[in-house]
Amino acid sequence: MARLTWQKSSFSGGGEGNCVELAASPSSRIHLRESDHPHDTTTTTPHALAHLLHALKGGDLHA
């Protein structure tokens, strides 16, 4: 697997920890991780991530 370049969310508090980080891979996959646990990652497609973000912003997710 190619080395990933991680970027912090623009909504991060600026300090260390509690940050969502994203990285894109050459295979058109998006990798996500929590900065407090950098070895625990999940992988998705750009399309699926866009739908998740849209649902979160719109309040469409229910507990």
For residue range 26-59, what is the model confidence (pLDDT) as tens digits? 889 999 998 888 899 999 999 999 998 899 888 8
Residue 38 lies in a domain: yes
State residue 56's pLDDT score: 85
State residue 19's pLDDT score: 85
Residue 12 lies in a domain: no
**What is the domain range of residue 41?**
1-7+18-63
Residue 25 lies in a domain: yes
State residue 23's pLDDT score: 95
Q: Tens digit of pLDDT for each residue in 9-23? A: 777 666 666 788 999
Cβ proximity of 43 and 23 under 8 Å: no
Residue 13 lies in a domain: no
Closest by CA position to 37, among listed 53, 17, 52, 22 = 17
State residue 44's pLDDT score: 97
Residue 44 lies in a domain: yes
Q: How many domains does the chain have?
A: 1
